[in-house]
Amino acid sequence: MTFKLTILGTSASLPAYGRHQSAQLLEIGKLTFLIDCGEGTQLQLTHYKIKAQKIDQIMISHLHGDHYLGLVGLLSSMNLLGRKKKLVLHGPNGLEEIITTQFRYSQTSLNYPISFQRLGTNQSNVIFENDTLSISSFPLNHRIPCCGFVWREKPKPKKINKDTLPVDLSLVNIVRLKKGEDIFDESGKLIYRNSSLTLPAKKSRSYAYCSDTKYDETIVQYIHKVDLLYHESTFLDDMTERATATFHSTASQAAQIGKLAKVNQLLLGHYSARYKDVSLFLNEAKQVLEATQLAQEGIEIALEE
Amino acid sequence: MTFKLTILGTSASLPAYGRHQSAQLLEIGKLTFLIDCGEGTQLQLTHYKIKAQKIDQIMISHLHGDHYLGLVGLLSSMNLLGRKKKLVLHGPNGLEEIITTQFRYSQTSLNYPISFQRLGTNQSNVIFENDTLSISSFPLNHRIPCCGFVWREKPKPKKINKDTLPVDLSLVNIVRLKKGEDIFDESGKLIYRNSSLTLPAKKSRSYAYCSDTKYDETIVQYIHKVDLLYHESTFLDDMTERATATFHSTASQAAQIGKLAKVNQLLLGHYSARYKDVSLFLNEAKQVLEATQLAQEGIEIALEE
């Protein structure tokens, strides 16, 4: 099953050097999520030949313009392109008012339903769950209410080992095996040990998105051991004071959070317009966490099962 | 003195084929106007190496997203880039609420003043005037309240013919000559006929912007004999019914308005996403008005004095 992240924007508030404002596309199986939606996100989707209509849910982390100003245009374009499918829109208090105010003045009546889901920004909350996936929001530490998000696949069923499977095993017992249970007879006696009839389950993958935030170790609990962590790094380390004052992070602070959370891989982004060459971010972060890479427009990161 | 129009966007609501949503920059002498501000306008300004800070006034024709969604991002970027200079913002009822709502949630406090000027959308109004220039808004015929704008230079002073100017003529009389008056002595006797001491004044130039609107001949009175008319042409002629139903115009309707208004030059734009090749618009309009050209991203049109 797919678990793929596509980077659409890596810029902090002021777009520079061809970098676009924050937006990412996350595809997990048949579900597609847009994470933040800076100005021009619909143009970026077109540029990378991604159909906006496949987006099921949009997560807006906070109401700084560089994280949501592309939203009204995208919602309008989805409508013009004939969307009928429901869209789930997670965002902080205010997002619904901002959108409905604009649609009121433009006399826009969408032909598809939007389900507005207001984010609680003071604690972690499960914001979506189905049989295979759970998504939680959690508080970041920014100038205004701001959420991070974490996608975690649920534990997957164990695979049946067809080489050792007895031909007469009932469907009920096969379901038990997939859950990792041993098989007992009616008297309670062990017939088959699970490990003898199954192979390990596929890996449950996870992704966490942290933008924007100052360095805050309370975040670590929410993103523990994720496979991939995106953490903002607006500044280089010589601007640590500025980072703290503006509620942003430096490259090595992002790496430190990743290290504390024992993540498998770190992805940096949200670069300030003062930096033309973002490779410096990579150098600094790698001093703390080797498994770091740079978000850049258009890159795709697929997590294997 | 400069009188130059730069096209930043030519697309109707759905951006397509690399075309951007409506935005134009008009420079008249030391004053710079931004006319409409579709999503991504700040990126277009950067692309064409135009400093946003030089913009003195922004005109928003109406509150369909493709004409204003780039505004909040642009205002924020102006702030981040250190703007102190006042900005005048002309827009219909609702624009101030839309902007202030967003800045309230983002807790943005601008370091420069914005003077919100609410457009009357039912009649023509002078919205700006100085010694050399007058700008009026006028109603267009669209689905929601929508204004056109016309910039007209005031009559310019006649030039003194230094070859024929008597050396003893007083400053008061020179001012009279520049105004086109003849010179009389105290008894009321004609001393100098104006035409013998002056050369013709430089040309007063004019530009009118009409987007979005259905075909409506009542517009003609407001744009009479302008040097350059931008008139939207969302559709080709085979879509006339669709144009009327959506309160837009076809290429030849735009040309017909230009012809009735006796404009010197017509500029077409606001092309629907259904058209890849916009040269068809030119062909159709030229059947009605030969002096027609196509708006395209990045073109500049300078009007000579």
Which residues in chain B touch residue A63, judged by CB atoms under 8 angstroms apart?
102, 105-106
Residue A52 has pLDDT above 90, yes or no: yes
In a domain, A27, yes or no: yes
Residue A50 has pLDDT above 90, yes or no: yes
* Residue A131 falls in the annotated catalytic set: no
Selecting from B73, B77, B106 the residue whose C-beta is nearest the C-beta of A63 gives B106
Using left for φ > 0, alpha for ψ between -120 and 50, and beta otherwise, residue B29 falls in left
- For residues B80 and B17, state if they share a domain: yes
Distance, in Å, from the CA atom of B165 to the CA atom of B123, rounded to the nearest integer, reads 46
- For residues B220 and B172, state if they share a domain: no
Residue of A13, A106, A234 to mutate for B, most B C-beta atoms under 10 A = A106
- For residues A61 and A11, state if they share a domain: yes
Confidence of residue A84 (pLDDT cuts 50, 70, 90): very high
pLDDT tens for residues A211-233? 999 999 999 999 999 999 999 99
Using left for φ > 0, alpha for ψ between -120 and 50, and beta otherwise, residue A298 falls in left
For range B76-95, the mean pLDDT: 97
Which residues in chain B touch residue A76, judged by CB atoms under 8 angstroms apart?
13, 65-66
| Structural domain for A184, as ranges | 159-199
Closest residue on chain A to B78 (Cα): A14
Average pLDDT for chain B = 96
Selecting from B14, B80, B144 the residue whose C-beta is nearest the C-beta of A106 gives B144
Which pLDDT score is estimated for A287? 98
A203 Cα to chain B: minimum distance (Å) = 39
- Single out the catalytic residue among A36, A56, A66, A277: A66
- For residues A9 and A121, state if they share a domain: yes
- Domain's final residue, options B199, B231, B260: B199
Which pLDDT score is estimated for A33? 98
In what helix (H) or strand (E) does residue B195 lie, and over which residues does it extend?
Answer: helix B194-197
DSSP-assigned letter for residue B271:
B
Task: Return the structure tokens found at B180.
Answer: 């086109």
Selecting from A73, A81, A144 the residue whose C-beta is nearest the C-beta of B39 gives A73
- For residues A220 and A288, state if they share a domain: yes
Residue of B39, B63, B108 to mutate for A, most A C-beta atoms under 10 A = B39
- For residues B17 and B140, state if they share a domain: yes
B227 Cα to chain A: minimum distance (Å) = 32
SS3 call for B134: strand
| Residue spans of alpha helices (H) in chain A | 41-47, 71-80, 95-105, 171-179, 194-197, 240-245, 251-260, 279-286
In a domain, A305, yes or no: no
- Domain's final residue, options A134, A169, A199: A199
User: What percent of chain A has pLDDT above 90?
Assistant: 96
Provide the number of structural domains found in chain B: 2
Selecting from A39, A77, A107 the residue whose C-beta is nearest the C-beta of B14 gives A77
- For chain A, give percent helix, strand, coil, nearest 5: 25, 30, 45
Do A101 and B98 lie within an 8 Å CB cutoff? yes
For range B55-67, the mean pLDDT: 98
- For residues A207 and A86, state if they share a domain: yes
Residue B168 has pLDDT above 90, yes or no: no
| Position A32, amino acid | T
CB of B102 within 8 Å of any CB in chain A? yes
User: Which residues 23-42 of A have a C-beta within 8 angstroms of B?
Assistant: 39-40, 42
- For residues B189 and B78, state if they share a domain: no
A147 Cα to chain B: minimum distance (Å) = 14
- Single out the catalytic residue among B36, B66, B212, B227: B66
Which pLDDT score is estimated for A2? 96
* Model pTM score: 0.94
| Cis before A36? omega within 30 | no
| Position B232, amino acid | E
DSSP-assigned letter for residue B154:
P
pLDDT tens for residues A97-134? 999 999 999 999 999 999 999 999 999 999 999 999 99
Average pLDDT for chain A = 96
Do A63 and B105 lie within an 8 Å CB cutoff? yes
Task: Return the structure tokens found at A108.
Answer: 């826009």
Do A15 and B43 lie within an 8 Å CB cutoff? yes
Selecting from A70, A77, A107 the residue whose C-beta is nearest the C-beta of B143 gives A107
- For residues B147 and B164, state if they share a domain: no
Mapping DSSP onto H, E and C, the string for A117-172 reads: EECCCCCCEEEEECCCEEEEEEECCCCCCCEEEEEEECCCCCEECCCCCCCCCCHH
- For residues A194 and A239, state if they share a domain: no
For range B81-97, the mean pLDDT: 97
- Domain holding B45: CATH number? 3.60.15.10
Task: Count other Cβ atoms within 10 Å, centred on residue A122.
Answer: 10
Residue B224 has pLDDT above 90, yes or no: yes
Residue A168 has pLDDT above 90, yes or no: no
Give ∠ CA A245-A247-A253 in degrees, rounded to 5.
Answer: 100
For range B87-91, the mean pLDDT: 98
User: What percent of chain A has pLDDT above 70?
Assistant: 100
Question: Is residue B67 classed exposed, middle or buried when 0-12, 13-18 and 19+ CB atoms within 10 A define those classes?
Answer: buried
Strand partners, A267: A230, A293
- Domain's final residue, options B147, B169, B199: B199
- For residues A38 and A163, state if they share a domain: no
- For residues A244 and A286, state if they share a domain: yes
